[in-house]
Amino acid sequence: MAYHCKIAQPISMRYRLLFYGPSTIILTLLSTLIFAQAGDSLLPSSKLKKLSLEELMNIEVTSLSMQPEKLTEVASAIQVIANEDIQRSSALSLPQALELAPNLQIAQANSHSFSITARGFSGLPSSGGELSNKLLVMIDGRSIYSPLFGGVFWDVQNLMLEDLDRVEVVSGPGGTLWGANAVNGVINIQTKSARETQGLCVSQEAGMTSALQDITEMRYGGKISDNLYFRIYGQYFDQERSSPGDTVNRYNMAQGGFRMDYYPSKANTFNLQGDIYSGSENDLSNLTHTTGQNIMAHFTHHFSDQSNLTVKVYSDYTTRDVANAAKPSNYNVSTNDIDIQYRLPIGQRQSILMGAGYSYVQDMTNIQALNPENLPMPEASGFIQDEITFVPALLKLTIGSKLLHDVFTGYEVQPSARLALTPKKGHTLWASISRAVRTPSRFDEDLIEPTGQSLSPYGFVSEKVNAYELGYRLRLMENLSFSFSAFFNQYFDLRSLNSDTSKITPTLIENGQDAESWGFEFSGNYQATNWWRLRGGYTFLRKNIWATIPSVLPISPSFEGVDPENQFMLQSIMDLSKNFSLDLMGRYVGELNAIAPVSSSPTYFTLNARLAKRFTHLEFSVIGQNLLSAQHFETGNYPIHRSVYGKITYRF
C-alpha cells in the first residue's frame, strides 16, 4: 500500500483554530449570561415565516424548542441533525449531511465511498472506505448494514434530503434498544411523513468543476382523503457527464420510491413505503453495478399517551455485481424482518418498553472467497427496558437488556443501566454503563483461501464492549444549549490478523486483540439572533489496541481503525436579508497516524459555503465544497477535490 505525500499544514492555521474554538464558545457563554432574559420568544419570526404550511402544521405547540424538549433530558450522547440544518448546509448526499453531526467521524475516500463511525474504529484507511463495522444505521427503522462485513455500503444509501425529517446520532452503545452492531453508536435516519411533504418539489443541481454530480430530483405529495396522504419521488445523478476521464469517481444512480401515511383514527397510524434503485460506479479498477428494492410497513396503535404498540415489517433485497473480466463476482442479500414493540406504564413511576424481533437474512454469492457461498442467517431477539422515576422531575433510572440469538455465536446478552439527574429545568446530568456486541460478519467467519482452507479455522466469537459514560446537558436559555459527554470503553475479542506461515496466504482471522478508548464530545447550539444560528462541536478520542496472542500481525490495529485524535466542526446559518442566506460549515480533522504500510493522512481543515436566494416558489443557490484547497486527502489514496455547484429548486 502506498503512502501519499503529506501536505504541509501552515502552523498559523493550527494556532488560529486553537483559539478560535474555545474562546468563541466561552465568550458566547459570557455575553449570553449577561444578557440572559427569561423570554418565551424562541421562534425567530424571520425563520418562522419562511416555513411552509406543512412545516407549520408540524411544530409542537408546547415544546420549548424546535426539537422535542425531551432531547435535553435524554441520558445519552445523542445529537440531532434537523431537516433545516441539512437544507442550510452544502450537503448533497446523505454522508455529507452526516458531517453535520459533531459526534460522528466521517472520511471520504472517493465520490461514493465513505468511512463513517463514532468514537473510533473507522476501519482500515482505504480507497473503499467502508470498513468501519461498529455502527448500527437505520433508515425509518430499516437496518442498512451489510452482513458481508458489518458495515454500510454508503454508495447505495440515497434519499431526497428535502424529505428527510431528522437524523438522530447516538454515540455510545445502543445495543439494548437497537440490537447487534450498535457497539459505538447508532444512526437513526427518519424521513418525513407523506403529510408533511405535500406538493411538488423539483430540483436540478449541476457541477461547475470536475469530479462531481449532476443531481435531478423530483417529488410530488398528494392527499387522497382527509386521512390518507402519499408522496412519490425520483432522483437521478451522473458523475461521469461532468468528469468524463475520471474512473475513480465514476458514479451514477437512478432511484425512485413512495410513501403513504394513513390515519384511520386518532389512535391508529399506518404507513407503507418503498424504494428501488439501480446504479453503477468504479470500485478500484472494476465497474460495480448495484441494485436494490425495499418495502416496509409500520403500524402504531396508541392505547393512551403512555402506552402504545408498534409493528414493523420490511423486506429488502440488494445486489452488487463486480464486472471484473478475470473474475466477475456478485453478492446478493435478501432480508425479511418483523419487529414488535410495546410500551406500557406500571403505576405512576414506571414505564416498560419491550420488544421482539425476527429477521431472516439470506445471502447468495459466487465470490470464491466465501464458504459457504450461500448462507441463511436467521436472527431472533427480544428486549425489555424499565424506566423508573425515583423522584419525579429529579431522578430517573433506565435499566434493560437485549437478548439475541445469532447464527454464528448463539445467545448474546446486551444489558445497560442509565441514571439521569435533573436538578433543575434545563439541566440533566447522566451516567451509564452498558455492554454491546458486534456479531461476526461473513468476512470474519467465512473467508477461505483459493485452496479452500478457512481463514478463521478457530471460529470467530463476537466482539464485545463495556462502555462507561458520563454526560451533562444544559439549556442555559431558550436559544442556547450545550451537551458534554465523556466515555471510557473496554473492548474484548476484537478482530485480529494473525500470521500462519504454513499457508499460501500467511494470514488468519482471530479474536486476538483487546482495546481501550476514552475521550469526550462537546457540542452546542446557539440561536444568536433571529437571523443567525450557530451549531457545532468538538470531539477528542484516544485509543489503544493491543494483541492478546503472540501471532497477531503488527498491521492488525490499523486494520480495525486509524482515527483522528481531535475533530471540530462549526456550522453557521445566516439570513443576510429577507431572501438571501449565507451558510457556512468548517470542519477540522486531525491526522490519521497509521502503522506502515497503511497510509496515513495529514490534518485537514475544510470549508463549505452556500449562498442562496429564495423567492416564493423558487430557490437559487451556489454551493462550494472543500473551498480552502484544490484537493486534500481524508482516507485512502485518492484526493477529494474542491468543487462548486449551482442548484435550482422549485417548490409548490
Residues that bind another protein (CB under 8 A): 15, 19, 23-24, 27-28, 30-32, 34-35, 37, 39-43, 45, 48-49, 51-54, 56-64, 198-199, 222-223, 226, 479, 528-530, 532, 578, 616, 652
C-beta of 8 vs 38, nearer to another protein: 38
Residues 640, 603, 105, CA angle at the centre, nearest 5°?
75
Sheet holding 164-171, edge to edge: 77-82, 164-171, 185-191, 135-139, 142-143
C-beta of 317 vs 532, nearer to another protein: 532
C-beta of 63 vs 350, nearer to another protein: 63
Minimum Å distance from CB 613 to another protein? Answer: 16
How crowded is the C-beta side of 386, counted as CA atoms within 13 Å?
9
Torsion sign, CA atoms 36, 41, 47, 51: positive
Minimum Å distance from CB 19 to another protein? Answer: 6
Q: In angstroms, rounded to a whole number, what is the distance separating the alpha carbons of residues 67 and 85?
A: 12
Minimum Å distance from CB 501 to another protein? Answer: 56
Minimum Å distance from CB 218 to another protein? Answer: 17
C-beta of 5 vs 53, nearer to another protein: 53
Q: In angstroms, rounded to a whole number, what is the distance separating the alpha carbons of residues 517 and 185?
A: 14
C-beta of 64 vs 627, nearer to another protein: 64
Residues 6+ apart with CB under 8 A from 111: 211, 212, 213, 239, 248, 249, 250, 251, 281
Minimum Å distance from CB 185 to another protein? Answer: 29
C-beta of 470 vs 528, nearer to another protein: 528
CB atoms within 10 A of CB 286: 16
CB atoms within 10 A of CB 265: 9
C-beta of 24 vs 409, nearer to another protein: 24
Minimum Å distance from CB 617 to another protein? Answer: 9
**Side chain identity, residue 120:** G
CA distances (Å), 348 to each of 68, 344, 390, in order?
A: 22, 11, 10
- Residue 72 phi, psi dihedral angles, 5° rounding: -75, -10
C-beta of 25 vs 118, nearer to another protein: 25
b/e per residue 389-421 (b: at least 16 CB within 10 A): beeeeeebebbbbbebebebbeebebbbebbbb
C-beta of 389 vs 579, nearer to another protein: 579
C-beta of 32 vs 490, nearer to another protein: 32
Distance of CA 627 to the CA centre of its chain: 24
Minimum Å distance from CB 525 to another protein? Answer: 15
Task: Identify which of 247, 237, 244, 246 has the alpha carbon closest to the alpha carbon of residue 214.
Answer: 237
Contact in structure between 342 and 370 (CB atoms under 8 Å): no
C-beta of 25 vs 494, nearer to another protein: 25
Radius of gyration of the chain (CA): 24
C-beta of 458 vs 652, nearer to another protein: 652
Minimum Å distance from CB 652 to another protein? Answer: 7
Q: In angstroms, rounded to a whole number, what is the distance separating the alpha carbons of residues 606 and 592?
A: 16
Minimum Å distance from CB 528 to another protein? Answer: 5
How close are the terminal C-alpha atoms of the chain, in Å?
52
Minimum Å distance from CB 263 to another protein? Answer: 10
How crowded is the C-beta side of 508, counted as CA atoms within 13 Å?
20
C-beta of 92 vs 480, nearer to another protein: 480
C-beta of 7 vs 228, nearer to another protein: 228
Q: In angstroms, rounded to a whole number, what is the distance separating the alpha carbons of residues 427 and 418?
A: 16
Q: In angstroms, rounded to a whole number, what is the distance separating the alpha carbons of residues 431 and 242?
A: 50
Minimum Å distance from CB 225 to another protein? Answer: 10
Q: In angstroms, rounded to a whole number, what is the distance separating the alpha carbons of residues 37 and 470?
A: 30
Minimum Å distance from CB 630 to another protein? Answer: 28
CA distances (Å), 584 to each of 119, 533, 536, 572, 614, in order?
A: 25, 11, 11, 5, 17
Residue 619 grid coordinates: 430557490
Minimum Å distance from CB 53 to another protein? Answer: 5
Residue 442 grid coordinates: 461473513
C-beta of 358 vs 532, nearer to another protein: 532
Minimum Å distance from CB 212 to another protein? Answer: 34
Cα dihedral value 41, 43, 44, 49, nearest 10: -140
Minimum Å distance from CB 181 to another protein? Answer: 33
**In angstroms, how far apart are the furthest CA atoms of the chain?**
73
**Side chain identity, residue 284:** L
